[in-house]
Amino acid sequence: MKFNQLTKIFGLSLLVVLTACKKYGYEIQDGYPDNSQNVAEGTIDTNMKVIDKSMYGKARVFPGLVDQSEPRVKDVQFTLDLNFTDQTSQNLRISVAPSPQYSTGFYAAPGELIKIVVPAGVDGLTVQIGAHTDDLSGKSTLLRDPVIYNRKQLVSGVNYVRNLYGGHIYILATFAYANPVTFTITGACVSPDFILGQTTDEAWLAKVKASAVPWLELRTKRVIFTIPRDKVLATLNSSEPFTNPTLAMTKWNDVFDLDYNAWMGLSDNAPDIRDRSPQSQWRGVLDIQLSLGYGHSGFPFVGQNDSEWFKSFTSVNNLNTSNGQWGSYHEFGHNCQQPGVWSWSTLGETTNNLFSFKVANRIGANYNILHPAVSSGFPQAITYATTAGTKNFDTDAAINDPFKRMTPFVQIFEKYGYGAMTYLYSQARHADRLNSSDITKHNFVYEKLSDYTQTDLSPFFGAWGILISDAVVAKVAAKYPTLKTAIWTYNPLNKTGGTGTITYSTTVVSVSSTQSGDGTNAALVDGVVSAASYWHSKYSSPTAAETFPISIVLGTGSPIPISIKGVTFAQRQNNSAGYVKDVEIFTSNDNVNYVSVGTTTLPQNTAVYNFNFPGGNVSTKFVKVVIKNGANAVYANLSECNLIKP
């Protein structure tokens, strides 16, 4: 009886459910509605014999066709080491970092189907056909189609892909595999690549001559260049035949090992990932047309497909002298800039070029041949730095040039060592936060370079008009002695100058009361204590503002705050009637907001009196002496009122 009752309940429940579904008109067999009425008729392109020639005309122009006589491989295996550390631009705090893109050594002919077999259990891979990834969309006059590369996600098993323009075949990895991965490929051509440490010059040259593949790669551990085969062949009848890729690419590998990675403080096995060098190679390609300029940074960096860029990749003479290398080092330098921490807004075309000087310094190259604007700009920049007055490095027309703005950085490297850049880069990677304003980036560079040199470099930054915050100056001044040598006069081009002692002449900024024709304001700071050298306040019908208290504002002569010990006084030597008595002294960095640093009473005699600030030396730009009273109720006079500098 109980069983029958349960059966009835179950049956009733089922009826309710079925009725409910019926009510809304749903009749779904697998729980997923499909109202598209589409019929699954898709097919996968697997016919290796079919060549899509629809873009042959454009592929012939660029990047070029592959003759049918060139062998296509069948079921050939290749192995890639995909065990990498995904070093990102965020970790390194640089503009661009190379991504894990692996050369296979194969080239796809235009429109031909490529078959790639991926072993079981291997995921997260993408195949890319084409090295020329510059997107020309929006360009008004096109020399080639805007997009001539393609990518397709790979799955375990058999994959098919074709590119109507052809190109080198790459494997892009999302994550690492501890063990090497072996692939099988069919339908591709072998690219006549040079691989440093694996290919001999003779064997490579023979491959290039025999190949019909239009492009090839020069590969090292650190960098890969994609160049046209016809340009290699053209050099064989020139004054500098490219027959020694081993030497050229060894030098390129050294450039990235020593002048980029190591100079930025990066190494392969650094325990902290932030200090680990990029695990993938940098890439440079030549293209018939660029999305921007004659060359531009990025991954890959792109240069115009002409003889100048080709020589910068391949010429041993260029690499030995740095002559003709500015463009390549310039673009790779853009990738390595740290704009989020210290390379401020007006240094966009400046700090990327510092790598050229690092290379030149290592190989003993003449800085004058690096770029014509270096030899003209550096002397003009030094003139700017040595000129007195108020300056602004970021806005003044006299320094508004990327080559001129390189000068202070190269001066620091030359005077204190190129390790200054290594320290700056390392500190930037480990900084607690990014810097969002130019002034905080100024401060960062000033503080870190002062740390590196163990010297307060505020006079150097002041000479260049690089504005820095007073609070940061005070912090640095408390740790290190102030720079004593005028290194901003050093000329890196001829290795002269920069040895003179820094001297700042005190200036009289303002005096609230002066008697015309009787003494001068300049006498207060001329260093002469005599009856003939004096200042006198106004005594002929003075206004209330021209009597006590009388203010004398002195400038340190420095564009940035410097350490001041006190004030030296001397009463007028032949008129005791105007002796000064009680004074109060204030300091300021802006000549607006002043802070009292002490009071004193001057001796009523002609002896020189030195008043040292009771709280010790003060970092300041302005000192105001307020004369409260004197021997006379209306006027006062002094022979000297000058600053005491440590």
Question: Amino acid letter at 62?
Answer: F
Predicted local confidence at residue 533, as pLDDT: 97
Predicted local confidence at residue 11, as pLDDT: 46
State whether residue 121 is helix, strand or coil.
coil
- Distance, CA of 503 to CA of 525 (rounded, Å): 14
Indicate if the pLDDT at residue 198 is higher than 90. yes
| Banded pLDDT at 557 (limits 50, 70, 90) | confident
Instruction: Give the strand pairing for 637-644 and 566-571.
Output: antiparallel
| Banded pLDDT at 619 (limits 50, 70, 90) | confident
| Banded pLDDT at 562 (limits 50, 70, 90) | confident
* Strand arrangement, sheet containing 595-601: 507-511, 550-555, 622-627, 582-588, 595-601
Nearest CA to 301 among 342, 359, 355?
355
Indicate if the pLDDT at residue 152 is higher than 60. yes
| Banded pLDDT at 36 (limits 50, 70, 90) | low
Instruction: Look at 4-13, 433-442, 490-499 and tell me which has the smallest mean pLDDT.
Output: 4-13
> Residues 260, 250: contact at Cβ < 8 Å?
no
- Distance, CA of 467 to CA of 455 (rounded, Å): 18
DSSP assignment letter at 462: H
Over residues 395-416, mean pLDDT: 98
Tens digit of each residue's pLDDT (9 = 90 or more) over 532-552: 999 999 999 999 999 999 999
Distance (Å) of CA 230 to CA 105, 227, 303, 314, 318: 18, 9, 17, 14, 20
Q: How large a percentage of the chain has pLDDT more than 70?
A: 93
Predicted local confidence at residue 390, as pLDDT: 84
Indicate if the pLDDT at residue 241 is higher than 60. yes
DSSP assignment letter at 472: H
Question: Amino acid letter at 207?
Answer: K
Over residues 237-244, mean pLDDT: 96
- Distance, CA of 388 to CA of 391 (rounded, Å): 8
- CATH fold match for the domains 55-304 and 337-489: no
Indicate if the pLDDT at residue 34 is higher than 60. no
Domain ranges across the chain: 55-304, 337-489, 507-644
CATH class entry, domain 55-304: mainly beta
Q: Does domain 337-489 have CATH number 1.20.140.10?
A: no
> Residues 563, 479: contact at Cβ < 8 Å?
no
| Banded pLDDT at 40 (limits 50, 70, 90) | low
Over residues 156-164, mean pLDDT: 97
Predicted local confidence at residue 39, as pLDDT: 58
- Distance, CA of 37 to CA of 40 (rounded, Å): 10
> What's the whole-number average pLDDT of the chain?
93
Q: What angle, 0 to 180 degrees and rounded to 10, lies between the N-to-C axes of helices 307-314 and 326-335? A: 80
- Distance, CA of 36 to CA of 254 (rounded, Å): 60
Tens digit of each residue's pLDDT (9 = 90 or more) over 41-78: 656 778 899 999 999 999 999 999 999 999 999 999 99
The reported pTM is: 0.84
State whether residue 359 is helix, strand or coil.
helix
- Residue 161 tokens read as 């892909």
CA count, 13 A, side-chain hemisphere, 5 = 2
Indicate if the pLDDT at residue 26 is higher than 50. no
- Distance, CA of 377 to CA of 399 (rounded, Å): 9
- Distance, CA of 640 to CA of 528 (rounded, Å): 7
- Distance, CA of 540 to CA of 515 (rounded, Å): 7
Over residues 121-131, mean pLDDT: 97
Over residues 301-327, mean pLDDT: 98
Q: Which residues of 560-582 are buried (b: 16+ CB within 10 A; e: fewer)?
A: bbbbbbbbbbbbbbebeebbbbe
- Distance, CA of 510 to CA of 490 (rounded, Å): 34
* Strand arrangement, sheet containing 223-228: 194-195, 215-219, 223-228, 282-287, 301-304, 295-296
Tens digit of each residue's pLDDT (9 = 90 or more) over 352-382: 999 999 999 999 999 999 999 999 999 999 9
Tens digit of each residue's pLDDT (9 = 90 or more) over 75-94: 999 999 999 988 899 999 99
| Banded pLDDT at 10 (limits 50, 70, 90) | very low
- Distance, CA of 456 to CA of 475 (rounded, Å): 10
**The tokens 């002695």 sit on which residue?**
481
Tens digit of each residue's pLDDT (9 = 90 or more) over 252-302: 999 999 999 999 999 999 999 999 999 899 999 999 999 999 999 999 999
Tens digit of each residue's pLDDT (9 = 90 or more) over 407-464: 999 999 999 999 999 999 999 999 999 999 999 999 999 999 999 999 999 999 999 9
* More confident position, 208 or 85: 208
Over residues 198-216, mean pLDDT: 98
Predicted local confidence at residue 639, as pLDDT: 98
- For the domain spanning 507-644, the CATH number is 2.60.120.260
- Distance, CA of 574 to CA of 438 (rounded, Å): 54
Predicted local confidence at residue 30, as pLDDT: 47
- Residue 74 tokens read as 């069948």
Predicted local confidence at residue 78, as pLDDT: 98
